[in-house]
Amino acid sequence: MRAMDILQIDQNILIWLNGLLVSKFALLDKVVIFCGVYLIYALPFILLLLWFLVKNKQRALAFSFAGMLISWFIITKTIVPHIWFRARPDLMILGVKELIFERPSYSFPSDHASALFALTFGLYFFGYKKAANWFLLLSIIIVVCRVVIGVHFPLDIIGGIVSGLIGATIIKIFEKPLDKAIWRPMIKFLKKIKLA
């Protein structure tokens, strides 16, 4: 399959999802917008709640967060856009309904997908499976809604998932040296100031 065929399929999936869900009901449009744009802002509060409520899983949270930072800031925001720049979907050209205006910028990979899936994979890798399952559900809801509202193509999401997997894997590979050099001193300090 040629690259142009893959990009055409990518566009067709966005057009299909947008046509399937957008403007059928005004309330559904509002729910999709909320999930695709604003639900991500719950993430810091969820992480803080987990940090303070589930003390025996703080290491899993910290390492998953580190994987997210690698995935989001280094891979998604720095490396990939310089290798392959893909603009956000032009909804007028595609002929789909625009629910929100998103300023033109790079689209691949999705930074939302990258951050969310880095956390999800990290939580799985470090044994916090119950939270990982909830993060997986949250991640799927957010990224599907971002495709529906036309902010990303499906391949942008897949790129973000791969970026998240790479970030979480890097942290897992270097788990032992990071544990000794960063985690143990950090948790010792946080315990002194009553934050762990």
Report all structural domains of the chain as residue ranges with CATH numbers, in order of start.
3-192 (1.20.144)
pLDDT 10s digits, 163-187: 999 999 999 999 888 888 888 888 7
- In the DSSP assignment, the letter for residue 126 is T
pLDDT 10s digits, 69-108: 998 888 877 888 778 777 667 655 555 666 555 566 667 8
Query: 132: pLDDT confidence band, cut at 50, 70 and 90?
Result: very high
pTM for the structure as a whole: 0.83
Q: How far is the first Cα of the chain from the last one, in angstroms, to the nearest whole number?
A: 52
pLDDT 10s digits, 24-82: 667 777 888 888 889 999 999 998 888 888 878 888 888 888 999 998 888 877 888 77
Please say whether the beta carbons of 107 and 87 come within 8 A. Answer: yes
Question: What does the pLDDT average to over 127-131?
Answer: 90
In angstroms, the CA 134 to CA 54 distance is 15
Q: Can you give the pLDDT at residue 115?
A: 93
- In the DSSP assignment, the letter for residue 162 is H
In angstroms, the CA 88 to CA 91 distance is 9
Q: Can you give the pLDDT at residue 173?
A: 93
Please say whether the beta carbons of 115 and 68 come within 8 A. Answer: yes
Query: 22: pLDDT confidence band, cut at 50, 70 and 90?
Result: low
| Measured CA distances, 110 to 73, 75, 84, 139 (Å) | 12, 11, 13, 12
Overall residue count recorded for the chain in this entry? 196
Phi/psi class of residue 109: alpha, beta or left (left: φ > 0; alpha: ψ in -120 to 50)?
Answer: beta
In 3D, which of 78, 90, 93 has the Cα closest to residue 151? 90
Examine the pLDDT at 13 and tell me if it is beyond 90. Answer: no
Q: What backbone torsions phi and psi does residue 106 show, to the nearest 5 degrees?
A: -70, 155
Question: What does the pLDDT average to over 149-165?
Answer: 90
